[in-house]
Amino acid sequence: MSWEPQVVRTVDLGYEQLLVLESQRGAVIRVLHGGVWLTQEGLARDIFAERGAELPLDDDGRVVVEGLGAARVQFIDRAYFSSTRKWLQAARHRIATALRSFRERGQLGRAGESAA
């Protein structure tokens, strides 16, 4: 069992109603009610699924879920938090690089130093 935070969205679909998502590897579509037709960008095959099915998404990209009658699905995205974490790490690196550049040019003193 994973304790990583998740973003869970529940969506009700009518007959032939579409849900279009941008997903990341590791996300899951769970069919709670009815049936769906799932098409994932980059995959040659489509998937038809009924209530109780859990469909792991194999790759990043656009996903189209179509209701085959009334359907309820959940989109569970674990990758959301890891992508946010990666963005924060990259931002931290850019800030550290900028501070180092300012120090090298003498435009910013080190901690504890006072400007005279």
Indicate whether 113 belongs to any domain: no
Range of the domain at 2: 1-106
Q: What is the pLDDT of residue 89?
A: 76
- The CATH number assigned to the domain holding 93 equals 2.60.120.10
Among 89, 79, 97, 90, smallest CA distance to 4 is for 79
Indicate whether 22 belongs to any domain: yes
Which range scores top for mean pLDDT: 4-13, 35-44, 78-87? Answer: 35-44
pLDDT digits 0-9 by tens, 39-68: 988 888 899 999 999 998 877 788 999 999
- Rounded CA-CA distance 15/3 in Å is 35
- Rounded CA-CA distance 60/72 in Å is 23
How many structural domains compose the chain?
Answer: 1
Q: Is the model's pLDDT at 36 over the cut of 90?
A: yes
